Amino acid sequence: MNEPQQKWTETIDADHSLFDLKLKEVWKYKDLVYMFVKRDFVSSFKQTILGPVWFFINPILTTIVYLIIFGRIAKLPTDGAPPLLFYLAGVTLWNYFSTSLLATSSTFSGNAGIFGKVYFPRLVTPISIVISNLMRLGVQFLLFLLVWGYYLSQGKVQPNLWILATPFLILLMAFFSLGLGMIFSALTTKYKDLNMLLGFGVSLYMYTTPVIYPTSSLRGVFKDIALYNPLTGIFECFKYAWLGVGNFSPVMLGASTISILIIMAVGIVIFNKVEKTFMDTV
């Protein structure tokens, strides 16, 4: 009597296209994404006294420091927007991008133990990082809305319909941090010195992004550097939409979108390539 032929329900194969994100497979592991998001969120404030209150304290303290140093001492312009709200808008967006990028960049090195023991789509890890940081952004954005509402009631800001583009701007930042993070995550498996330089590089990168200044205040080569920055269109659009100030144009946002999609594609290719062999170098 012939035994029924077994049929495999899952096939793990290292040979796949570099452009294959395996999104269907990632969707099958959505419960794992949820677990990673919950783990990251809880572990951030485990054994802390204030817990999630740090979500508010961090942007408040950072904004106050910027207000004193760049507003009072350096006297950088804010295009007529209330300085407190201007800096808070930049800090809120920058915190999400920088935190997501730094966390995503350690995907391979920080999870080598898990990756070496059990199989799941490796893309689950950076995606969960970006999503967990969205939760932090949501809390900090609530703080921004409270301050913005106060100045709106005083007639000191002039918002416009570009506010509706806010979810798209956040999505672009998520893509950008994910794309860059995957690139650096792949590179740090072989060149571990990049771990030391990345934090410093991100800090420098902030000063080429209109976080603490408007692009209208820049001249010459400094303005060119800022305009080539993919984040410039996002930050200028956000401040123009909510504060009614800034040197924003749809072309600027379009250029940022194209640049970010290209970086995302490059990140996918490099991530998929290194994913096959990273255990030999990490």
pLDDT higher than 90, residue 34 = no
Range of weakest confidence among 27-36, 67-76, 227-236: 27-36
Say what the pLDDT of residue 9 is.
Answer: 56
Q: Do the beta carbons of residue 178 and residue 267 sit within 8 Å?
A: yes
pLDDT higher than 80, residue 44 = no
Mean pLDDT of 107-129: 73
Say what the pLDDT of residue 256 is.
Answer: 95
- pLDDT tens-place string over residues 142-179: 999 999 999 999 999 999 999 999 999 999 999 999 99
Say what the pLDDT of residue 143 is.
Answer: 92
Mean pLDDT of 47-55: 64
Say what the pLDDT of residue 141 is.
Answer: 94
pLDDT band at residue 230, thresholds of 50, 70 and 90?
very high
Which among 115-129, 185-199, 256-270 has the top mean pLDDT? 256-270
Kindly report the average pLDDT of the chain as a whole number: 83
